[in-house]
Structure 1
Amino acid sequence: MRRVVCPGSFDPVTNGHIDIIGRAARQYDEVIAAVLTNISKRGLFSPEDRVAMLREATEDYPNVRVQQFDGLLVDFCRENDIPGIIRSLRSVSDFDYELQIAQMNYQLAGVETLFMTANPQYSFLSSSLVKEVASYNGDVSTLVAPHVEQALRDRFAGD
């Protein structure tokens, strides 16, 4: 079985994330969308909320499984017998950053990283940008799934 992991904080999950996960799902038998718990960053949504939103956003892909993890991604890969990581590249600066991580992951555990270029429709898109626009009550309806848009509205309504 060909398996890969698509890791991220997914805070929140965007249409760009779903595009990459969906494209990976067409290429691999199983795709694990791994939600990172980063203790050095305070997220807008809890890890449990991010997992729930990502599960709903990927429900049309029967070979995608969503799982939460913390720690090193290569340890997650070893524990789950995952030989490859899918990462998206939006720009040259993404490549510079991602290449170092890919080389470290290979050095640490022999885990391969495969890069997918972002769909041009989403090449500008990031969770940070979505959160900023949503925080000012901007329209993010074309950037995230409807349930994510509602979660953002609910979150920022209290601010």
Structure 2
Amino acid sequence: MPRIAFYPGSFDPVTNGHLDILGRALGLTDRVVVGVGAHVGKAPLFSVEERIEMLRLCGAPLAAKSGATLEVISFQGLVVEAAAAVGSTILIRGVRDGADFDYEMQMAGMNAALDATLQTVFLPAAPAFRPISATLVRQIAAMGGDVGAFVAPEVARRLAARSA
């Protein structure tokens, strides 16, 4: 039976931290489905389609290196429902610090209450990626700062174009 993981998030924009977690998730499973959340009421910098494109582009080399399959989709609604729809029994969550861990533990508990077959796997961010957040990357880029250390070159290019 293939091990299918679901890695949900907003990925607005895709950061090196996201890619770190994705690469390690690909190393643990046969298939990772990245779910780009399309949340009503949020005003993202990049459209769902753009975020999917960036994840496919940046994630393809990671999938090739691991030998696992990568799929990137959009979803609305509950994470547990999206995970079930793709046949996943593993939910991947990255944690940078204690605050992330506390929040993610609450989410894992609620998700387990909604679907006991879905197991949450926490992957700690590598030390170099712990300070990176998509929110901070967006803010730095909006003020004309160099985000090249925090995102892939293609993402940096797109951020620069948005900020120009």
TM-score by length of 2: 0.93
CA drift of 1:40 comes to: 2.5
CA drift of 1:148 comes to: 0.4
Which residue of structure 1 lines up, in the alignment, with residue 16 of structure 2? Answer: 15
CA drift of 1:64 comes to: 1.4
Which residue of structure 2 lines up, in the alignment, with residue 153 of structure 1? Answer: 160
CA drift of 1:78 comes to: 1.5
Computed over aligned residues only, the root mean square deviation of the Cα atoms, in angstroms, reads 0.8
Which residue of structure 2 lines up, in the alignment, with residue 45 of structure 1? Answer: 46
> What are the equivalent positions in structure 2 for 1:71-82 lying under 5 Å apart?
71-82=77-88
Unaligned ranges ≥5, structure 2 = none
Counterpart contact for 2:13–2:46, Cα < 8 Å? yes
* Aligned counterparts of 2:156 and 2:97: Cα–Cα separation in 1: 25
Letter in 1 for 2:151: V
Letter in 2 for 1:28: T
Which residue of structure 1 lines up, in the alignment, with residue 145 of structure 2? Answer: 138
Matched, 1:127 2:128: no
* Aligned counterparts of 2:139 and 2:29: Cα–Cα separation in 1: 34
CA drift of 1:4 comes to: 0.5
Which 4+ residue blocks in structure 1 deviate beyond 4 angstroms? none
- Partner secondary structure for residue 74 of structure 2: strand
CA drift of 1:80 comes to: 1.4
Deviations 1:36-65 (A, max 9, x none): 111131100111111111111111114211
Matched, 1:4 2:11: no
Which residue of structure 2 lines up, in the alignment, with residue 36 of structure 1? Answer: 37
Which residue of structure 2 lines up, in the alignment, with residue 107 of structure 1? Answer: 113
Letter in 1 for 2:81: D
Letter in 1 for 2:15: T
**Which is further off, 76-85 or 117-126?**
76-85
* Aligned counterparts of 2:33 and 2:87: Cα–Cα separation in 1: 11
Q: Between the two proteins, what is the percent identity of the paired residues? A: 41
Letter in 2 for 1:49: E
